[in-house]
Amino acid sequence: MKFFIDTADVSEIKELAKSGLLDGVTTNPSLIKKSGRNINEVIKEICDIVPGPVSAEVTATEYDEMLREAEVLKSIAKNVTIKVPLTWDGLKTCKALREEEVLVNVTLCFSANQALLAAKAGASFISPFVGRLDDIGIDGMNLISDICQIYSNYPNLNTEVLVASVRSPQHVAEAAKLGADVVTLPPNVLKQLITHPLTESGLQAFLDDWKKTGQSIT
């Protein structure tokens, strides 16, 4: 499974990139707003840090303007992935960009039928939002299961399932068990993946015993 980080905080990305765990980055207009910076500058800096796909989202809602914004965004760096919403105009934009071999992330997916349409349009990634479904009482992981099953039925569909709106480490483990290709998660959730009370208590016991030996390795 690939790990993408869902943030526009360049300092967070720099820190996490040192771990070797990052395969890509996803951003959206809300994350850009939170950063308080110019989108072109932020995306350029992120692309310089992470060689994998970096999603930059269009804000237009109509086809022609989406394409114009996509032209600007994809000129920032070779690893920019254009992010479009799952609308008719978004799918048309996806198809046009894929014909140019530009990576496209189709976002705001909430149904298996939507995911099938995105794959038919040639999407590089489909982003189902599991956390937002959980918020309204629907098990978001059921959607991931449905999409993975449908895609597996048709080997000619090459769209990767990118699990988004991840809220907890459990979402990550469940997505991995279902065979999702990618998970994009906030920095705090990524850091939670390494935490386990038995790891912490075990390490402390080792350190306490080592101290009693009176030895030093260096």
Read out DSSP for 163-197?
A: EBS--SHHHHHHHHHHT-SEEEE-HHHHHHTT--H
**Angstrom distance (rounded) from CA 114 to CA 108:** 9
Which residue out of 83, 95, 191, 212 is catalytically annotated?
83
Catalytic, 83? Answer yes
**Domain 2-213 has what CATH class?**
alpha beta
Is-contact 106 91, C-beta < 8 A?
yes
Show me where the domains of the chain are located.
Answer: 2-213
Helices marked H in 50-159 — which ranges? 63-74, 88-99, 112-120, 130-135, 140-153
Q: pLDDT below 50 — which residues of the chain?
A: none
Say what the alpha-carbon torsion angle 136, 142, 143, 149 is, to the nearest 10 degrees.
Answer: -170
List CB contacts of 189: < 8 A, sequence separation 6 or more.
Answer: 166, 167, 168, 169, 171, 172
* pTM (2 d.p.): 0.94
pLDDT in tens, 181-216: 999 999 999 999 999 999 999 999 999 999 999 999
